[in-house]
Structure 1
């Protein structure tokens, strides 16, 4: 793929990776120089001051600007001297980058505890729940049309549908979602967990397909999805004693434990390279439904 064909999220992901690899000394000098010449112009061409960028991406911006100043990006050539200066200046941002990484780990740990409590509450409340896990993403051949603003818009519309609880979301009792970005290919995606009333919904494969097709409709055909509910995938999990999707019975400890493990995949503090490298202001990257609501039967009234 030509560097000029990189879309906005992918070029930022590659810049992020270049900075972290440079600081970790896992990339040679000539490769840094080559990537600078390939990435600087498309990064500056896509740069939007209204978006929030990761610390490595900002370190790239500040370091390169300190060297080339107001020279038009298309006229900049990264030679040996400029590249060495880039490496030297970049080291000034090492602490900022590490602090952001630690903040991500802390927040993910918080999210994990919160999600575990939420899912456990639902399991304890219903005798059986139908667990659906799918990943929402974009087709490789159309991903160049997708910006972070597009992704945010699609996710907002999709969450609104979930909240309405109509069509394929009828009898939905719980949900959780996490937005991520691939560390190498830079692909934007969403890990989605849906929990339905098991007395009303039974076919997990069919539901997963309906939800995935809903995502494709919302994205105008740009989206695709991965379902964990085909027969072969479920049999593989079952053989390994790790099947945590489909019908989960409250009185089956093994099913409950596996279901919790499935849910908690959405919040893994060790996935430090999977967070979004750029965001729209106010953009949420993780969320779940509420357990205590006025519409949930069998709970004491919510005091006013």
Structure 2
């Protein structure tokens, strides 16, 4: 198993462990099944979600003496179960609150863009890795730092960008670490959004990840047609005078901050590193009529 697959396997096991119907006598043997894979990926400098951290805390090499009773005392195990259930629910609730908090500045950011530009070109690309070449989170972080520097410096394909936002995730099923990226160009100066989406994906795949990455170009013509048929097209050329396309664009942008999928979160990261971010607002406090 690769690193994200191992993390998901640990999480799924611990979800089973905290169920009230779980046979507590099975915990030692159940935990041992993933022990070798878990030891290969554990890093004390990283921050893990509660279920996964709880698993690591019970490894023979890491367990505290006070926790050893979990394996031999039913009352101690039930107390462990109850505490971990509460911690996991609190973690999910905090994640949801963070997403809701992120939406307000992102909404204001895009509203300002619409006020200052009669046309915007929105390019959405999902950056990922095929499972057979999926690296660990450290390499994912390195790749993201290279990408974000290219975007910030307006290098090559990003030369004309006037704004961007991104969110980092790990899928709750088979998907590993990935990035939902939105790059915005001045629609009065730029078109061919499918080209931009493809080139951003190609940069990620060929240059940044050296061939081990993959991507999904939301702006590809066939994908846009599917959104158009549903009446939800909110990427590509967005004209301020077209209220429906602007509304749809807001829904697209909202997803970056507020995914409705509760299992879309990183199981491992670092405390002081962002999982969601956007460019600073260059129009804050500026009257669009005077700009």
Question: What is the TM-score with the length of structure 1 in the denominator?
Answer: 0.83
Distance change in 2, residues 1:221/1:269 (3 Å): closer
Counterpart among 268, 276, 282 of residue 292 in structure 1: 282
Residue 104 of structure 1 is matched in structure 2 by 95
Residue 46 of structure 1 is matched in structure 2 by 41
Task: Find the aligned partners of 1:282 and 1:103 in 2 and give their Cα distance.
Answer: 16
Counterpart among 4, 13, 17 of residue 8 in structure 2: 13
How many Å apart are 1:42 and its aligned residue?
1.3
Residue 188 of structure 2 is matched in structure 1 by 199
- The one-character-per-residue Cα deviations of 1:227-251 (angstroms, maximum 9, x if unpaired) are 1122221111111110001100011
How many Å apart are 1:260 and its aligned residue?
0.7
Residue 254 of structure 1 is matched in structure 2 by 244
Task: Find the aligned partners of 2:38 and 2:73 in 1 and give their Cα distance.
Answer: 16
Q: Does 1:134 align with 2:149?
A: no
User: Is the CA contact 1:14–1:184 (under 8 Å) kept in the aligned structure 2?
Assistant: no
Task: Find the aligned partners of 1:82 and 1:241 in 2 and give their Cα distance.
Answer: 59
Distance change in 2, residues 1:269/1:263 (3 Å): closer
Residue 212 of structure 2 is matched in structure 1 by 222
* 3-state SS, counterpart of residue 202 of structure 1: coil
How many Å apart are 1:66 and its aligned residue?
9.9
* 3-state SS, counterpart of residue 193 of structure 1: strand
Distance change in 2, residues 1:240/1:84 (3 Å): farther
Counterpart among 234, 237, 244 of residue 234 in structure 2: 244
Task: Find the aligned partners of 2:74 and 2:262 in 1 and give their Cα distance.
Answer: 27
Between stretches 270-279 and 210-219, larger displacement belongs to 270-279
Distance change in 2, residues 1:35/1:168 (3 Å): farther
Counterpart among 110, 116, 135 of residue 119 in structure 1: 110
Give the gaps of 5 or more residues in structure 2.
66-70
How many Å apart are 1:272 and its aligned residue?
2.3
Task: Find the aligned partners of 2:14 and 2:29 in 1 and give their Cα distance.
Answer: 13
* 3-state SS, counterpart of residue 265 of structure 1: helix
How many Å apart are 1:135 and its aligned residue?
0.2
Distance change in 2, residues 1:290/1:68 (3 Å): closer
Distance change in 2, residues 1:26/1:18 (3 Å): farther
Distance change in 2, residues 1:67/1:297 (3 Å): closer
Distance change in 2, residues 1:84/1:157 (3 Å): farther
Between stretches 15-24 and 271-280, larger displacement belongs to 15-24
Give the gaps of 5 or more residues in structure 1.
1-5, 71-80
- The one-character-per-residue Cα deviations of 1:179-236 (angstroms, maximum 9, x if unpaired) are 0001122500000011100111110111101100111110111111001122221111
Task: Find the aligned partners of 2:187 and 2:202 in 1 and give their Cα distance.
Answer: 22
Distance change in 2, residues 1:273/1:65 (3 Å): farther
